[in-house]
Amino acid sequence: MHRPIRSQRRGSTSISSPSRTTGASRTRRIVRQPALARFAECESTPGPENVDDAALDAFIRKTAITVHHPAGTCRMGAANDPLAVTDDEGRVRGVEGLRVVDASLMPDLTSGNINAPVIMIAEKIADRIRGRPPLAPDDAVVRCASVDRVQPGGGR
């Protein structure tokens, strides 16, 4: 069995190069302003040797990392959806015994931390794998700015 290949292809095109180098150049100008210059004795990164756009771009390509959460890379959908990679239980189409149970199933990132939604996805699919029925709808009332709001599923 071969090891899986995982590549986000970050920085693989020149399309984002100008925005990368522009961001680095602007940051340098900001830090050199009198209000901040006294806090910056010297530039350690990317370093004074990386002056022109080509050098800055090469430095950024070599050292850049991501702390974002990739999501939406394995579309979940109906059997007749040609773009769906998985079914509603996270099973990868065409690959027996493989499921996706992470943020890859999410159509987009949430506006907050994705930890809780990913745990929910994993727990729901784990329940399906174990043959457990879905939880019953919860009619909990959520208090918000002194107004009662009803959760989906009915109730108050």
Tell me, what's the pLDDT at 156?
Answer: 46
Residue 150 backbone phi and psi in degrees, to 5: -100, 135
Q: Would you name the residues annotated as active-site residues? A: 69
- Give the orientation angle of helix 53-63 with respect to helix 17-31, to 10 degrees: 100
Q: State the pTM of this model.
A: 0.49
Position 149 pLDDT exceeds 60: no
Q: Is the pLDDT confidence value at 16 over 80? A: no
Quick one: residue 115, left, alpha or beta (phi over 0 = left, psi -120 to 50 = alpha)? alpha
Comparing CA positions, the residue from 94, 114, 95, 96 lying closest to residue 105 is 114
CB count in 10 Å sphere of residue 102: 19
Asked if residue 137 lies in contact with residue 153, where contact means CB atoms within 8 angstroms, the answer is: yes
3-state DSSP assignment of residue 147:
strand
- HSE of 123 in the Cβ direction (CA atoms, 13 Å)? 8
pLDDT, position 118:
92
